[in-house]
Amino acid sequence: RRLERLEALTDEEMVNVQRLNLLDSTAPNPSVETLLHAFLPQKFIDHTHANAVLSLTDQPDGEAIVRELYGDRVAYIPYIMPGFLLARTAARIVRETPGVKGMVLLKHGIFSFDDDGRTAYELMIDFVSMAEERLARGRRTLVQAAVPAGLAPVAAVAP
């Protein structure tokens, strides 16, 4: 948690700090999202990239859709590339939003958290189920794509 107090940390520095703290030096590098989990105060953190949630957040009006769906049960985090800045920003927003039981990372995924493991898990099931139910109520669309007859010239693709 001391890392959270830093103003900045490059990706290379973050990986180095993570590797220095491995219990097994031959282990693979920890996930780029490790600090995102570590900076949150709750004991149990569940995180998924559920298709149902992404199907909502990846819409042009995705933030409005999930805000209507989850209300004040979760914090809303704008899209930030995974790494130190995302971890620090998300932890700050969660601290500034008391009482939330999760967070939606727009165009990324959803978290649930609690100091009890079963509660954190059940929250995640609830959050994803809510997204699935919302999708089931939505308008069904079918997009058909046609394969081009031939390859486009390079100048047309990369002028």
Q: Note whether 120 and 37 are within 8 A (CB).
A: no
- Strand ranges, E, within the chain: 44-48, 74-77, 102-105, 109-114
Give the pLDDT confidence of 43-88 residue by residue, as tens digits.
999 999 999 999 999 998 999 999 999 999 999 999 998 888 888 9
Residues of the chain with pLDDT under 70: 1, 4, 6, 140-144
- Which domains are seen in the chain, by residue range? 33-138 (3.40.225.10)
């620090």: which residue's tokens? 88
**3-state helix/strand/coil string of 76-112:** EECCCCCCHHHHHHHHHHHHCCCCCCEEEECCCEEEE
